[in-house]
Amino acid sequence: MNLEKITDYHVNRGLLAEVQALLAPSYVAVGPFALKGIAYPVPGMRHELYTLRDADGQLAAFCTVGYHDIAGLPCGYMGLIAVGEEHRIRG
């Protein structure tokens, strides 16, 4: 599997389509709403998307990470995380 850190992911519509397809089975109730938080990052925050691709180059998993300062202290958070159904429970 190939891990990649992407900082300008919100302008990559092809990648966002892959993310949406990976989310679809698990996020039926929220659908496009879940993707909105990824496609339109909060101004003033640093955002990163980490992707994991399988041997065929297909998106297997991803997670989002955000960073900003609160009262002068650097803070980070894990955002949306998803794993493709065929890759779950495989370590």
Contact between 42 and 31 under an 8 Å Cβ cutoff? The reply is no
Q: Express each pLDDT in 41-80 by its tens digit.
A: 777 788 899 999 988 999 999 998 888 888 989 898 888 8
pTM score, whole prediction: 0.80
Q: Which two tokens stand for residue 90?
A: 């495989």
The type of residue at 42 is V
Length of the chain: 91
Of 29, 26, 50, nearest in space to 38 by CA: 50
Contact between 33 and 46 under an 8 Å Cβ cutoff? The reply is no
Residue ranges of domains in the chain, CATH in brackets: 2-85 (3.40.630.30)
Q: Express each pLDDT in 72-90 by its tens digit.
A: 898 988 888 888 888 887 6
In the beta sheet, which residues pair with residue 42? none
